[in-house]
Amino acid sequence: MRFAVLPAAGKSTRMGRPKLALPLGECTILEQVIAVLRRAEIEHILVVVGPHVTELLGLAEGAGANVCRLAEETADMRATVEHGLNWLEQQFRPHPHDAWLLVPADHPTLVPSTVRELERVHLAESGGSIFVPTWEGRRGHPIVLAWKHVEGIRRHTPGEGLNSYVRRHAAETIEVPVADSDILCDLDTPEEYERLRRRWEG
């Protein structure tokens, strides 16, 4: 898979501090996510960084990712992702059949095998163009989309998010069962971070 987009422009309001820079083991949450994607052999990893979290710039670049630095705050994650997609188009001119992985940057429990399974199904399944991992029937993240959806996302109803876009393209969406319950995990609060930190250390 050629591309991964990690939106990193949120304000971490519920965490109370920039969560992507929080330590996890010997690195930060953001560095851990990038390391997993590199092990999964994603060719171009792009972190879209908001102007209020400039400390993420060095972390992302040091971990081997490209960085799209936003000049202004975005209204929502969809807008952040669109900035990243524009950056990738300008730099690499992707083909419509190229795939891109939308990865929550606060998802350090992601494992390479999940990424590889999504890529395997994407390459084998001609009837779909959006691929969503599931565990026991519940959808999680990250998701894979064919590049042709970039234009559709730009035209999507203003104010509606990417989940809404995926729901409207159910006929093109393939669910991919994976053996990893962590695809359902969120990391938004100090309590969730503390549980993750203890688990990591254990």
Q: Where are the domains of the chain?
A: 3-201
Residue 202 scores a pLDDT above 80: no
Percent of the chain, pLDDT > 70?
100
Residue pLDDT, tens place only, 93-108: 999 889 999 999 999 9
State whether CATH 3.40.50.150 applies to domain 3-201. Answer: no
| Confidence band, pLDDT 50/70/90 cuts, at residue 140 | very high
**Cα-based angle 87, 77, 66 (whole degrees, multiple of 5):** 35
Residue pLDDT, tens place only, 7-44: 999 888 889 889 999 999 999 999 999 999 999 999 99
Under DSSP, the state recorded for 52 is: T
Contact 2, 95 (CB under 8 A): no
pLDDT, mean of residues 61-70:
98
Average pLDDT of the chain is 95
Phi, psi of 166 (to 5 degrees): -65, -40
> Which is it for strands 66-69 and 44-49: parallel, antiparallel or unpaired?
parallel
Q: Burial level of 143, CB count in 10 A (0-12/13-18/19+)? A: buried
